[in-house]
Amino acid sequence: MTDENTKPKTAGTEPTVPDWLIPSRVYDILKWLGLIVLPALAVFVSTVGPAWGWPHVDAIVTTLNALGIFAGALIGVSAIKQRLDLAA
Protein backbone atom coordinates (compact mmCIF):
# COMPACT_ATOMS: atom_id res chain seq x y z
CA MET A 1 0.00 0.00 0.00
CA THR A 2 1.53 3.31 -1.06
CA ASP A 3 0.52 6.83 -0.28
CA GLU A 4 0.56 9.10 -3.32
CA ASN A 5 1.43 12.12 -1.17
CA THR A 6 4.74 10.58 -0.09
CA LYS A 7 6.00 9.78 -3.58
CA PRO A 8 8.88 12.01 -4.65
CA LYS A 9 8.03 14.26 -7.53
CA THR A 10 10.36 14.06 -10.48
CA ALA A 11 11.47 17.17 -12.28
CA GLY A 12 9.85 17.80 -15.61
CA THR A 13 6.70 15.77 -15.03
CA GLU A 14 4.48 18.81 -14.55
CA PRO A 15 4.42 21.93 -16.71
CA THR A 16 6.03 24.95 -15.13
CA VAL A 17 3.50 27.74 -14.75
CA PRO A 18 4.57 31.10 -13.36
CA ASP A 19 2.82 31.98 -10.12
CA TRP A 20 1.94 35.57 -10.99
CA LEU A 21 -1.08 37.34 -9.68
CA ILE A 22 -2.89 37.71 -13.01
CA PRO A 23 -2.35 36.19 -16.47
CA SER A 24 -0.75 38.31 -19.20
CA ARG A 25 -4.00 38.72 -21.20
CA VAL A 26 -5.85 40.01 -18.15
CA TYR A 27 -2.85 42.25 -17.38
CA ASP A 28 -3.03 43.76 -20.88
CA ILE A 29 -6.78 44.37 -20.60
CA LEU A 30 -6.49 45.94 -17.14
CA LYS A 31 -3.61 48.10 -18.33
CA TRP A 32 -5.65 49.31 -21.31
CA LEU A 33 -8.66 49.99 -19.08
CA GLY A 34 -6.69 51.66 -16.29
CA LEU A 35 -4.45 53.83 -18.45
CA ILE A 36 -6.70 54.75 -21.38
CA VAL A 37 -10.38 53.81 -21.20
CA LEU A 38 -11.42 54.72 -17.66
CA PRO A 39 -9.61 58.10 -17.49
CA ALA A 40 -10.94 59.04 -20.93
CA LEU A 41 -14.45 57.99 -19.97
CA ALA A 42 -14.22 59.99 -16.73
CA VAL A 43 -13.21 63.12 -18.66
CA PHE A 44 -15.98 62.52 -21.18
CA VAL A 45 -18.64 62.11 -18.48
CA SER A 46 -17.42 65.16 -16.55
CA THR A 47 -17.56 67.26 -19.73
CA VAL A 48 -20.73 66.02 -21.40
CA GLY A 49 -22.75 65.01 -18.33
CA PRO A 50 -23.59 68.50 -17.07
CA ALA A 51 -24.37 69.71 -20.59
CA TRP A 52 -26.97 66.96 -20.96
CA GLY A 53 -28.28 67.30 -17.42
CA TRP A 54 -27.14 63.85 -16.28
CA PRO A 55 -27.73 63.29 -12.57
CA HIS A 56 -24.90 62.37 -10.19
CA VAL A 57 -22.08 63.26 -12.62
CA ASP A 58 -19.61 63.86 -9.78
CA ALA A 59 -20.31 60.44 -8.27
CA ILE A 60 -19.96 58.75 -11.66
CA VAL A 61 -16.64 60.48 -12.38
CA THR A 62 -15.33 59.62 -8.91
CA THR A 63 -16.33 55.98 -9.42
CA LEU A 64 -14.64 55.81 -12.83
CA ASN A 65 -11.46 57.33 -11.42
CA ALA A 66 -11.51 54.91 -8.48
CA LEU A 67 -11.88 51.97 -10.88
CA GLY A 68 -8.92 53.27 -12.89
CA ILE A 69 -6.80 53.47 -9.75
CA PHE A 70 -7.90 49.98 -8.72
CA ALA A 71 -6.94 48.56 -12.13
CA GLY A 72 -3.59 50.35 -11.89
CA ALA A 73 -2.97 48.88 -8.45
CA LEU A 74 -3.73 45.37 -9.70
CA ILE A 75 -1.36 45.64 -12.65
CA GLY A 76 1.29 47.23 -10.45
CA VAL A 77 1.17 44.39 -7.93
CA SER A 78 1.27 41.83 -10.71
CA ALA A 79 4.24 43.53 -12.38
CA ILE A 80 6.18 43.63 -9.09
CA LYS A 81 5.39 39.96 -8.40
CA GLN A 82 6.51 39.03 -11.93
CA ARG A 83 9.81 40.86 -11.51
CA LEU A 84 10.43 39.21 -8.15
CA ASP A 85 9.65 35.76 -9.58
CA LEU A 86 11.95 36.30 -12.56
CA ALA A 87 14.75 37.57 -10.33
CA ALA A 88 14.56 34.47 -8.11
Contact 12, 68 (CB under 8 A): no
pTM above threshold 0.85: no
Whether the CB-CB separation of 77 and 21 falls below 8 Å is answered with: yes
Which strand (E) or helix (H) includes residue 21?
Answer: none
Query: Tens-of-pLDDT digits for all 88 residues of the chain?
Result: 444 544 555 555 655 655 566 788 888 888 899 999 999 999 999 999 999 999 999 999 999 999 999 998 888 887 787 788 778 7
